[in-house]
Chain A
Amino acid sequence: MSASDNMIPAPAVRSRPLIVRHLPYFIGAAALVTLAAGMRFDGYVLNILLQATTFSIAVFGLSVVLGLCGQINLAQAAFFGFGAYAVGLGTADLHLNFWLCLAGACAITLVAGAFLGMSTLRLGGHYLAMVTISFQQIVTLVMINAIGLTHGPDGVANIRRPELFQSSQSYLAFCVAMLAIVGYIVWHLPDTKLGRAMRAVRDNELAAGVNGIDVFRTKIYAFGICALLGGLAGGLFAGGFAYVSPDQFSFAESIVFLTMSLLGGVASPIGSVIGTGLLILIPEWLRFLKSVPGLYLAIYGLFVILIIRFMPDGIWGFVADAFTRWRAQTKAPPAAAVLQLKPATTGGDIVLEVTGLSKHFGGLKAVDDVDIAVKRGSVHALIGPNGSGKTTTLNVLSGLYKATSGRIVLDGTDITSMAPHQRTAAGLGRTFQNIRLFRSMTALENVEIGAERPGNTMVGKGDDALTERAMEALTFVGLGNRANELISSFSYGHQRLIEIARALASNPTLLLLDEPAAGLNSTEKLELHELLKRIAAQGLTILIIDHDMTLVSEAAQHITVLNFGRRIADGESMAVLRHPDVVSAYLGSE
């Protein structure tokens, strides 16, 4: 049966071009800009609008770094200040062109953000929180003390605006236009390759790594973008108010930005605008709070605790959630073609050649001098009693652990010293014993991330091709009709299938399955067995770890047995299972 017989005529996934679908946004934005330029405001309202507009852009940055990528930045006011001082000092002291200064502001903050990120993002989130606070303190110290450069506590006055937007009204219109453009980019970011990578990193760093995402670099991009938006916003702010001073960019302001982001909803630019608008307007209405120093910031602090506790997704998150649930029910996923697996065949007859592999934890030899040779197109099983080193072996193979010694060659490429995402790019696909899916995403999005593997030849250019490939993989495991549901609504067994689909979509050269039958009931095990047969029928090589002897003996042609970290038997399935050492390892000897 050829593939074409199975083709179900698939309607195009996205019928209208992007620009047409997003036209309402641009019409709305244009209307807002016209309104900002044409309506008569008094100076007070104008200032508030200008502040809200520029602050919103800075808060967009937080929605990228915190909402999309799950990393914290407590120095957004410092980056905002960088931008403000770049434009301020540039136009007032050095008499440079405004546009040049604004571009400089963006460049400086991007570099500063990326550098700060590089020093810390490899480590956990606590480090990042503390380092960004430290950075914030340093920037404030410099602004106040480096008087020769920054004018110290006096601040910078006489900041100029561009020739084109001299009047406050036209400058506001310009800022609103910038807000609309940046907002569009941030709004669209989650559906781009980078955005998906950020969400994957946020949901599960480990799984992101083994699905071909460079976790560290993704975080740096997110951090850099956040800093850049802070700098851009600061530059616009300086132009708008013509005067800046260090106290406007203190740690307290960073907390205000954070509160704005959390209140509105950290995951979306719409939330950013809502949060910023509210937190600029509310203090204006409650001006009496400002008469007692500290009181209104104390209330902000209380707000942060209460929002985190009772409304973790913010105002917009709450609204959007209800909307998404309503939409998910109405939108049926399109049908898909049959999944094609074309594993690469650059190497020889042996797809995976492991020689002398060892992994020691201190004195414990979890894996000790193990050789494995997986033949192309075969199903190879790695078995052994509990604690025999199977999962450690798999973790060393996929790069989560570094091998103590030994060599791993995948399809002719030595992958021994590669990072997890590089091994994935080289053609390794894997699933986890304890399922690691991206839990805030739909099944389809999860599989799309798999399909996005660098070097995947089976997926064409563009988002549509990606979605198509992901749909094929989901249909292959029998879950195509539920593609748009969130991971949390799937049963344990189905989540396992989604993990397999995610690996299959990447068209791997070798598929590593870590105890795929664990926790499945007998019907699900039968389905899994069928699925493995269909995968093997397409010529994909599988290395499977499992306890289920029925599954292993029926599915695998070749078995390697580990015990106490050492290989005790290796060969054709039936012969290995009758091997006396294997029998005694499992059942004990007399």
Chain B
Amino acid sequence: MDLVLQLLFTGIGIGAVYALVALGFVLIFRATNVVNFAQGEFSMVAAYLMVVFSVDLGWPYWLSFLIALAGMALFGVIFNLGVYYPLRNRTYLPVIIATIGASILLSNSVLAIYGPQPQVLQGWFDTPGIQLGPVYLDSQYLLIIAVTILLVLFNFWFFEKTLLGKKLQATSQDKEMASLLGISVSTMIMITFIYSAVLGGLAGILVAPVLFVSIQMGSTIALKAFAATIIGGFGDVAGAIVGGLALGVIETFGAAYVSVPYKDGFAFLVLIAFLVFRPQGIFGERVAEKA
């Protein structure tokens, strides 16, 4: 029983990271109708930025954190202008191929600069964790869970209560109509990319002390996050969160009770099972094409 509780905590912690990246996926998908396959690299790049500022340059953790997030905002702008924007009037296929190209370019550029050796990043707190009854609560996991809860609340407030959020929603639902109402669609898409890059970056920085900072961390997280969006119901914000948490828990239990080397395979099995038996996901997003 103690082990179950411990695994549950770890699973939710890692699942929260998937949920954050999945949220970034969903936001870009809703704004542009394409899946950004470089979403995981957003997390990877942010983690390496942290390594540069905090480890290599030895700057304070909080300052490195702020600069890394600012860097991610800039990165979102560059990504949009370099990869998505020139292809915005083409079908989805060229766009996803371009984002895959970007993903390869980013991870291998970092590999060329930093080499294959994984980097270590300290956690935010000096205290490694607290013992709560039978369960050991790792401080970094606690931070991840807390930040995720805050971000979900912020997300809700931002999209439902602010004018900018409503404009973003209008853009994602009907671009033509939004532009007729005087909303600059390209600005809204730019904002989405910035927000999504910061979100992905945040997830990367938070998870970096738990995993290692490596070239593969981006694609691994992205794969799980995408599986999470399908499990939750594609394009659904609540679905992405629930799907991410569920996947984190399933994976942690799978690794503990079934097999460690194949830990990364569980996401795929769950994904296939959902695609075959319930492609609309838990929250039932419609996937059929409209006539």
Bound: A298/B107 CA distance, A: 8
Given A134-B268, A293-B115, A262 and B87 contact (CB-CB distance below 8 Å): no
Decide if B128 is an interface residue (CB 8 Å cutoff). Answer: no
Within 8 A of A (CB), among B214-229: 215, 219, 223, 226-227
A304 and B101: CB pair below 8 A? Answer: yes
Q: Report A-chain residues with C-beta under 8 Å of the C-beta of B29.
A: 126
Bound: A145/B106 CA distance, A: 27
Given A133-B223, A138-B265, A302-B101, A123 and B112 contact (CB-CB distance below 8 Å): no
Decide if B4 is an interface residue (CB 8 Å cutoff). Answer: no
Flag the segment in B88-96, B159-167, B243-251 that touches A: B88-96
Given A141-B265, A305-B83, A262 and B112 contact (CB-CB distance below 8 Å): no
Q: Report A-chain residues with C-beta under 8 Å of the C-beta of B279.
A: 122-123, 127
Within 8 A of B (CB), among A295-335: 295, 297-298, 300-305, 308-309, 312
Decide if A119 is an interface residue (CB 8 Å cutoff). Answer: yes
Given A262-B97, A301-B102, A303-B101, A130 and B289 contact (CB-CB distance below 8 Å): no
A301 and B35: CB pair below 8 A? Answer: no
B112 and A129: CB pair below 8 A? Answer: no
A126 and B268: CB pair below 8 A? Answer: no
A131 and B275: CB pair below 8 A? Answer: yes
Decide if B168 is an interface residue (CB 8 Å cutoff). Answer: no
A206 and B289: CB pair below 8 A? Answer: yes
Decide if A70 is an interface residue (CB 8 Å cutoff). Answer: yes
Q: Report B-chain residues with C-beta under 8 Å of the C-beta of A303.
A: 101
B291 and A298: CB pair below 8 A? Answer: no
Given A134-B271, A312-B94, A126 and B264 contact (CB-CB distance below 8 Å): no
Within 8 A of A (CB), among B98-156: 98, 100-112, 115-116
Task: Specify which of B82, B105, B276 lies most central, judged by the most chain A CB atoms within 10 Å of its CB.
Answer: B105
Residues of B within 8 A of A (CB-CB), count: 51
Contact partner, B111, options A74, A131, A133, A294, Cβ 8 Å: A294
Decide if A570 is an interface residue (CB 8 Å cutoff). Answer: no
Given A301-B101, A305-B98, A70 and B93 contact (CB-CB distance below 8 Å): yes
Decide if A251 is an interface residue (CB 8 Å cutoff). Answer: yes
| A244 CB → nearest B CB, Å | 20
Bound: A145/B259 CA distance, A: 11
Contact partner, A251, options B110, B219, B262, Cβ 8 Å: B219
Decide if A205 is an interface residue (CB 8 Å cutoff). Answer: yes
Interface string of B261-287 (1 = CB under 8 A from A): 110110110011001100100000001
Decide if A38 is an interface residue (CB 8 Å cutoff). Answer: no
Q: Report A-chain residues with C-beta under 8 Å of the C-beta of B268.
A: 134-135, 137-138
Decide if B230 is an interface residue (CB 8 Å cutoff). Answer: yes
B271 and A123: CB pair below 8 A? Answer: no
Decide if A466 is an interface residue (CB 8 Å cutoff). Answer: no
Q: Report A-chain residues with C-beta under 8 Å of the C-beta of B97.
A: 72, 258, 262, 304, 308
B104 and A300: CB pair below 8 A? Answer: yes
B102 and A305: CB pair below 8 A? Answer: yes
| A578 CB → nearest B CB, Å | 34
Decide if A25 is an interface residue (CB 8 Å cutoff). Answer: no
Bound: A130/B102 CA distance, A: 15
B272 and A131: CB pair below 8 A? Answer: yes
A206 and B291: CB pair below 8 A? Answer: yes
A131 and B271: CB pair below 8 A? Answer: yes
Contact partner, A301, options B34, B104, B289, B291, Cβ 8 Å: B104
Contact partner, A305, options B90, B105, B227, Cβ 8 Å: B105
Bound: A40/B100 CA distance, A: 41
A141 and B261: CB pair below 8 A? Answer: yes
Residue of A nearest to B99 (CB): A305
Decide if B37 is an interface residue (CB 8 Å cutoff). Answer: yes
Q: Report B-chain residues with C-beta under 8 Å of the C-beta of A72.
A: 93, 96-97
A309 and B112: CB pair below 8 A? Answer: no
Interface string of A420-431 (1 = CB under 8 A from B): 000000000000
Task: Specify which of A70, A301, A312 lies most central, judged by the most chain B CB atoms within 10 Å of its CB.
Answer: A301
| A255 CB → nearest B CB, Å | 5
Bound: A133/B90 CA distance, A: 23
Within 8 A of B (CB), among A100-134: 119-120, 122-127, 129-131, 133-134
A130 and B223: CB pair below 8 A? Answer: yes
Bound: A252/B215 CA distance, A: 13
Residue of A nearest to B114 (CB): A294
| A309 CB → nearest B CB, Å | 5
B112 and A305: CB pair below 8 A? Answer: no
Residue of A nearest to B262 (CB): A141
Decide if A442 is an interface residue (CB 8 Å cutoff). Answer: no
Decide if B86 is an interface residue (CB 8 Å cutoff). Answer: yes
Contact partner, B92, options A125, A131, A298, Cβ 8 Å: A125
Bound: A214/B93 CA distance, A: 21
Given A129-B37, A298-B108, A137 and B262 contact (CB-CB distance below 8 Å): no
Interface string of B19-63 (1 = CB under 8 A from A): 000000000010000110100000000000000000000000000
| A424 CB → nearest B CB, Å | 15
Bound: A138/B90 CA distance, A: 32
Given A131-B272, A301-B103, A294 and B264 contact (CB-CB distance below 8 Å): no
Decide if A170 is an interface residue (CB 8 Å cutoff). Answer: no
Task: Specify which of B93, B94, B101 lies most central, judged by the most chain A CB atoms within 10 Å of its CB.
Answer: B101
Decide if A23 is an interface residue (CB 8 Å cutoff). Answer: no
A129 and B35: CB pair below 8 A? Answer: yes
Residue of B nearest to A296 (CB): B108
B94 and A308: CB pair below 8 A? Answer: yes
Q: A127-B234, A301-B103, A305-B105 are in contact. List 14 more A-B contacts (CB 8 A).
A: A74-B100, A125-B92, A126-B29, A130-B226, A130-B227, A137-B268, A141-B262, A294-B107, A294-B110, A295-B108, A298-B105, A300-B104, A304-B101, A401-B291
Q: Top 3 A-B pairs ranked by shortest CB distance?
A: A304-B101, A294-B111, A301-B105
**What are 5 A-B contacts defined by CB distance under 8 Å?**
A123-B279, A145-B261, A251-B219, A294-B107, A301-B104
